[in-house]
A and B are shown apart, each in its own frame.
Chain A
Amino acid sequence: MNRRNAIKQLFVVAGGIMIASSCDFTPTATSIQLNHIKLFRADEDLLGQLVEAIIPKSDSPGAKELKLHLFVMKMVDDCASPADQQFFLDGLKLAEKMRDQPIENVQRYLLDLSEKQDVFFKLLKGRTIQGYKNSEYIMKNKLVYELVPGRYNGSVKIEA
């Protein structure tokens, strides 16, 4: 732990969010490179728990297996406004108490946030659903996306 802190501090001294996030040799780095926000592997793991609580594994893969926590990180990093990024980082910090908790507790925590119209939760859930619907697994196996439909029928009778 001392070593980890020391390395963290070294990066802060070096003044680089970029540097910290682009180094893969340290156990603290996220598994994808981030360009704007600062997160570590521990945050990534917690995020994995949170997205899994939103879309859990059942008879089909859940959010963590589909790596949606990485997608959420990517989208917050690149596509969120600085204000939303801050909401996200603050919310993630508060969710720290859910680390390693059973999924039911995490879900209860998130539902509570949902009732409070929490911005962090809204961002988290929105990006999780977006990532899920647009995942390779879903688009190949569940809600199949056709790159080349090759047809249009404007009057299809729906069989009851």
Chain B
Amino acid sequence: MINLNIDSQKNRTYDAIVIGSGISGGWAAKELCEKGLKTLVLERGRDVQHIKDYPTTNMYPWEFEHRNELPYSVQQENPIVNRCYAFHEDSEHFFVKDQEHPYVQQKPFDWIRGYQVGGKSLLWARQTQRWSDFDFEGPARDGFAVDWPIRYSDLTRWYDHVERFAGIAGDKDGLEELPDGEFLPGYPLNIVEKYFKEKIEKQYPGRKVISARCAHLSKPNQIHFDQGRVQCQHRKLCQRGCPFGGYFSSNSSTLPWAQKTGNLTLRPHSVVHSILYDEEKGKAIGVRVIDNESKNEIDFYAKIIFLNAAAINSNLVLLNSKSSRFPAGLGNDSGTLGKYVAFHNYSARISAEFGDYLDYTTDGKNPAGGGYIPRFRNLKRQETDFLRGYAAGFSAYRISHTEQSGIGVDLKNNILNPKLGNWGVGSHMMGETIPKETNFVELDPSLTDQWGIPQLRISVDYDENDRKMKKDYLDTMEEMFTSAGFINIRRNESSQAPGLDIHEMGGVRMGLDPKTSMLNKWNQIHSCPNVFVTDGASMTSTSTQNPSLTYMALTARAVDYAFAELKKGNL
């Protein structure tokens, strides 16, 4: 406490504070610092510096004590995070363990978190598609949630801006529903993916199979070299952190860039308790932090605050920011805070085999992962008994079969001589879900976490629309697979809980009307305009596209606006 007293308030005052250093917080930091604002980035976890803090990145499989498997006890103690596809021996240090930050599941919800500098940007699946007006006009057209206060044209130049810097590989496909961007060369489909593309596009007009667009440097430009990043080397070990900076993360890209300006102060181990609201000034004045090492409470001050704690935690911060002006959470005049949480429905996949093109195989690894099928259901008009639709992944690979029966020299020889089998093909759905008041997060009235902050209660579930959509996905893909001549088709209806898609969104939604939304079209809290929320929490609806690229664009756009308003003296 002595130190705190010596620390004058002035030393804890900045132009801007960014809460969170993940994919959107990193962007806020970069843009704010580039505009010359002294910026404090608060990160609740430890520091992770590019390359230096990727301990497993150059390890061979045999160098892992358990060959990348996690010990039984770790799996038992972490049923939630253990369900995440990327949680293994090589990456477990980048995931939050279940006990470290408990929450209440009123309904099953797998909340997957990465508490460190860079957040989940180290771990993400790197798929990056722009949203289109089919997405932004969705709620208004189909009568759910509230109308988005923006359209694609509001974001176009910001998509350009973030794509150029982050580096997005993709083809110009000329699709209205998936606008083209400032792409680096796309990763080509393999021979069977191409076959499927031709077959489907001919037989089902309106349906497309394209190369998946992803945040990998297929052919870096000068701006990427300037970040210290080089061409992606097709390792596909991204979850370990990439020594080449081959994929975009806060750690490899935006944070070091912000650091170079001299305007960045990065403070790890800073668990945000709340945003401080000054009743007299009628605006937020700073952020209260619990230091994770000393457990001391420290206040930091700034003119503007960017909240980028990741969707669910941004809800938590606002809900816990109570004042007599805002007894139900900062900016919550509408009563919508914490509500209308939605996600992506990833609960179905389908796989099959293909017995053609057996004189071909692949060599190396595809960072993009294969193909992408943009949403075609209910795209231009409502045509089913459920709302909205789904995008889907599609990929093909040559199956390698090892005969493992018996023991002895025969077994050994069989292992050393795997045989090529059929092609394997697979697809997974990425369904839009409808934000509803009944899908919400709230503060638990009594339980707190180790920092004395109320635990979050999460109450989010699938609904009938999701179930109908899932069936349609499986039926439709099965039909498409059958017509392509695929065999041994297996439908896989996963019982995975919401959350495991790691695309949770909403709770602090944007909207035109302060009575029914939290944020305006600049991601500014209607009733507390020097606080901007530009992560997944701000999303009015979910689209079917992966959301991260849109968070980046929204963030850069909001910083540009905030800076202009600041200069005008409006904030």
Q: Is the CB of B366 within 8 A of A154?
A: yes
Of A19-27, A90-98, A137-145, which binds chain B? A137-145
Q: Type the 1/0 row for A133-154, where 1 means its CB is closer than 8 Å to any CB of B.
A: 1111011001101011111111
List A45-90 residues whose CB lies under 8 Å from chain B. Answer: 53-56, 58, 60, 62, 74-75, 78-81
The listed residue (A134, A142, A152, A158) touching B67 by CB distance below 8 A is A134
Q: Is the CB of B365 within 8 A of A158?
A: no
The listed residue (A55, A75, A151) touching B234 by CB distance below 8 A is A151
Q: Is the CB of B362 within 8 A of A114?
A: no
Q: Is the CB of B363 within 8 A of A151?
A: yes
Q: Is the CB of A53 within 8 A of B408?
A: yes
A residues near B416, Cβ cutoff 8 Å: 60, 138, 142-143
Q: Is the CB of B364 within 8 A of A153?
A: yes
Residue ranges of A at the interface with B (Cβ–Cβ < 8 Å)? 53-56, 58, 60, 62, 74-75, 78-81, 107, 110-111, 114, 125, 129-136, 138-139, 142-143, 145, 147-158, 160
Of B57-65, B294-302, B531-539, which binds chain A? B57-65
A residues near B58, Cβ cutoff 8 Å: 147
Q: Mind listing 25 A-B residue pairs with CB under 8 Å?
A: A55-B415, A56-B408, A56-B412, A60-B412, A62-B412, A75-B66, A78-B72, A110-B407, A111-B406, A114-B406, A129-B415, A132-B412, A134-B61, A139-B60, A142-B416, A145-B61, A148-B233, A149-B233, A149-B235, A151-B364, A152-B187, A155-B190, A155-B194, A158-B359, A158-B360
Interface presence of B71 (CB below 8 A): yes
Q: Is the CB of B411 within 8 A of A156?
A: no
Residue of A with least CB distance to B237: A147
Interface presence of B55 (CB below 8 A): no
For the residues of B in contact with A, the DSSP-based class is: loop
B residues near A62, Cβ cutoff 8 Å: 412
Task: List 14 additional contacts besides A110-B407, A129-B415, A133-B415; criterion CB under 8 Å.
Answer: A53-B407, A54-B407, A78-B65, A79-B70, A107-B408, A111-B406, A125-B407, A129-B411, A147-B60, A148-B235, A152-B234, A152-B363, A157-B359, A160-B359
Q: Is the CB of A114 within 8 A of B407?
A: yes
Closest-CB distance, B490 to chain A (whole angstroms):
23
Known pairs A54-B411, A79-B66, A107-B407; A154 contacts B188 (CB<8 A): yes
Interface presence of B483 (CB below 8 A): no
Interface presence of B193 (CB below 8 A): yes
Q: Indicate the member of A114, A131, A154 with the most B CB atoms within 10 Å.
A: A154
Closest-CB distance, A103 to chain B (whole angstroms):
9
A residues near B61, Cβ cutoff 8 Å: 134, 139, 145
Q: Is the CB of A154 within 8 A of B72?
A: no
Q: Is the CB of B407 within 8 A of A153?
A: no
Q: Is the CB of B190 within 8 A of A154?
A: yes
Q: Is the CB of A54 within 8 A of B364?
A: no
B residues near A79, Cβ cutoff 8 Å: 66, 69-72
Q: Is the CB of A155 within 8 A of B360?
A: yes
Q: Is the CB of A153 within 8 A of B408?
A: no
Known pairs A147-B60, A149-B233; A54 contacts B408 (CB<8 A): yes
A residues near B62, Cβ cutoff 8 Å: 134-136, 139
B residues near A78, Cβ cutoff 8 Å: 65-66, 71-73
Closest-CB distance, A76 to chain B (whole angstroms):
10
Residue of A with least CB distance to B211: A154
Q: Is the CB of A152 within 8 A of B71?
A: no
Q: Is the CB of A55 within 8 A of B366?
A: no
Q: Is the CB of B407 within 8 A of A154?
A: no
Residue of A with least CB distance to B244: A148
**Distance A35 CA – B567 CA, assembled complex (angstroms):** 62
B residues near A151, Cβ cutoff 8 Å: 234, 363-364
Q: Type the 1/0 row for B344-379, where 1 means its CB is closer than 8 Å to any CB of A.
A: 000000000000000111111111000000000000
Q: Is the CB of A154 within 8 A of B412?
A: no
Interface presence of B2 (CB below 8 A): no
Closest-CB distance, A72 to chain B (whole angstroms):
12
Residue of B with least CB distance to A54: B407
